[in-house]
Structure formats: structure tokens, C-alpha cells
């Protein structure tokens, strides 16, 4: 899987492409932990090129959310229908911030 | 109409997930299974099979089976392993109302399996775990080949 990361002010935009499953999520998590290690706390996940996600992929986001509990946040943008369905069925759609596109998620972010 | 069937023998290695994904895609294409239920079955099988590889059959090389059957009105998959008795459906579901930071790390795979399939049954059969997954197919003029 391909992951691109870019900085927009204090926000880090992370865009995984392809499939985020129990195999590819290991690299993806490593990449996020690198960003965390460099001080990144405000994440925007641009999922417009993500074709599929499994519970292994969701686990990475849940794990990151725990790290960001004290300081930071995450927003999600551009979910494809297949990925949106997984967010819906697991109740995450109602418990995370979803935006139509990356630019919408970056507006007024990080807050304050 | 006869049921079209395919049996796959997989190794207990996560690298097999890609082979499984491709084999299910080929099976679906040949049998003209509609795209959406096929994609859902692929996701569910990936959840079940990665569980088998990680939890039922960890360690040295072992083999297990995935069977697929397509008929006009449904798609059935069975995953069979000879690991210790384990019913993945017996675990309580995590609370889906919790925000992500408050959630346990596991348990969402089984949520997806239950929500995306029409029937899911576990049985212990002659020393083997068998998980049966069934997805109803929407009626089509022709049905699967």
C-alpha cells in the first residue's frame, strides 16, 4: 500500500491508497507512529484513494485515538462507499469527524 | 440449478490473504456473482481467515480449508481448521457507541462478519472448527452461470 503524508500548518494529512487490512496496517501504523514521534498530534486522514478497510485497519485508528486523548485529534475525509459502509457498521461514523473532502477537513483545523 | 463450488487450501500465513482475495474475485467473476455481495464476502472472509491464522493456528506451518459455493440465490463460504475448539461468535460484541479512544482494540472483525452476512453459524465437527457464512443474492434475470 502507498501512504502519502503532507503538512498543512500543524495538521498532518495522511492519505493511504489501496487496501488497509491486517497485513498492510502494520506498515501504516509504523508510519503514523513516526509522525507521532516527530510531534504530530492533529491528523487528517484523506481516504479518497482507499479501496477497502478491514478491522485490522480500524484498529490502527482506534489505537491512535488513544494516543491523542490528551492532546490532538483526527478527522476523516473523502470516504469511498466501501469504506464508509465499514465505518457505519462499526458505529464509527457517529463517533468520528467525517468530511466530504480534504479541504473541508482542513478548514479551521487544528481548532483554537 | 447445481451449486458451483471451489475449495481452497491455505497455509497459516498472512501472505495467503492476497491469494484468497484473488481466488474469491476469480470465483465470483466466473460465476457472475454481483459485485457488491462478492466484495462483502471478500471482506468477511478476510476477517475470518486472518483470525484463523493468528489465533487458531499460530506457529509452525499448518493448512486449513476455505470452501465457496454459489447458487442462484445465495453465496456460501465455509472456513474449516483443526485448531483448538473456538467459536468466534461467542465473544460479546464491543460497545459500538463508544468514541474510538474508549474502545477496545479488538472485536470489530466479528461485528463486520455478523452485519455483512445473512447467516453465520459455528460448529465443531470431528475435531474441526467450521464457520459457515451465507450471503443472500439479489434476484437477477439470469442468476449465476
Contacting residues of B for A89, CB less than 8 Å apart: 111-112, 115-116
**Which residue from A56, A52, A14, A61 is spatially nearest to A35, judged by alpha carbons?**
A14
- Asked if B50 lies within 8 A of A22 by C-beta distance, the reply is yes
Angle at A39 between CA A35 and CA A43, to 5 degrees: 60
- The per-residue pLDDT for range A2-52, each reduced to its tens digit, is 999 999 999 999 999 999 999 999 999 999 999 999 999 999 999 999 999
**CA–CA distance, B132 with B30 (Å, rounded to integer):** 22
C-alpha cell, B60: 509452525
What distance lies between CA B57 and its chain's CA centroid? 16
C-alpha cell, A29: 501504523
Best of A62, A67, A94 to substitute, by most chain B Cβ atoms within 10 angstroms, is A62
Please give the DSSP secondary-structure letter assigned to residue B88: G
C-alpha cell, B44: 468477511
Tell me the angle at which helices B108-116 and A55-67 cross, rounded to the nearest 10 degrees. 140
ipTM for the assembly: 0.94
Best of B51, B95, B97, B101 to substitute, by most chain A Cβ atoms within 10 angstroms, is B101
Contacting residues of B for A95, CB less than 8 Å apart: 97-100
Is A20 within 8 Å of A51 (Cβ atoms)? no
pLDDT in tens, chain B (145 residues): 557 799 999 999 999 999 999 999 999 999 999 999 999 999 999 999 999 999 999 999 999 999 999 999 999 999 999 999 999 999 889 999 999 999 999 999 999 999 999 999 999 999 999 999 999 998 876 555 5
Amino acid at each position: 500500500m502507498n501512504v502519502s503524508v503532507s503538512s498543512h500548518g500543524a495538521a498532518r494529512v495522511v492519505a493511504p491508497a489501496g487496501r488497509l487490512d491486517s497485513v498492510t496496517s502494520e506498515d501504516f501504523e509504523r508510519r503514523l507512529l513516526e509522525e507521532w514521534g516527530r510531534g504530530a498530534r492533529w491528523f487528517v486522514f484523506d481516504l479518497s484513494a482507499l479501496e477497502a478497510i478491514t478491522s485490522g485497519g480500524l484498529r490502527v485508528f482506534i489505537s491512535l485515538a488513544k494516543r491523542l486523548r490528551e492532546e490532538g485529534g483526527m478527522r476523516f475525509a473523502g470516504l469511498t462507499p466501501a469504506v464508509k459502509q465499514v465505518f457505519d457498521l462499526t458505529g464509527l461514523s457517529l463517533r468520528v469527524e467525517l468530511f466530504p473532502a480534504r479541504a473541508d477537513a482542513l478548514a479551521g483545523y487544528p481548532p483554537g | 440449478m447445481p451449486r458451483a463450488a471451489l475449495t481452497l487450501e491455505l497455509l497459516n500465513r498472512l501472505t495467503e490473504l492476497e491469494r484468497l482475495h484473488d481466488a474469491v474475485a476469480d470465483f465470483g467473476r466466473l460465476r457472475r456473482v454481483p459485485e457488491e455481495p462478492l466484495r462483502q464476502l471478500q471482506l468477511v472472509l478476510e476477517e475470518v481467515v486472518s483470525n484463523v491464522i493468528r489465533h487458531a493456528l499460530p506457529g509452525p506451518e499448518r493448512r486449513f480449508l476455505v470452501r465457496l459455493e454459489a447458487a442462484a440465490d445465495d453465496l456460501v463460504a465455509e472456513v474449516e481448521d483443526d485448531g483448538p475448539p473456538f467459536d468466534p461468535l461467542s465473544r460479546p460484541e464491543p460497545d459500538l457507541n463508544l468514541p474510538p479512544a474508549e474502545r477496545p482494540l479488538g472485536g470489530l472483525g466479528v461485528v463486520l462478519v455478523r452485519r455483512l452476512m445473512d447467516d453465520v453459524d459455528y460448529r465443531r465437527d470431528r475435531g474441526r472448527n467450521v464457520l459457515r457464512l451465507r450471503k443472500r443474492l439479489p434476484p437477477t434475470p439470469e442468476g449465476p452461470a
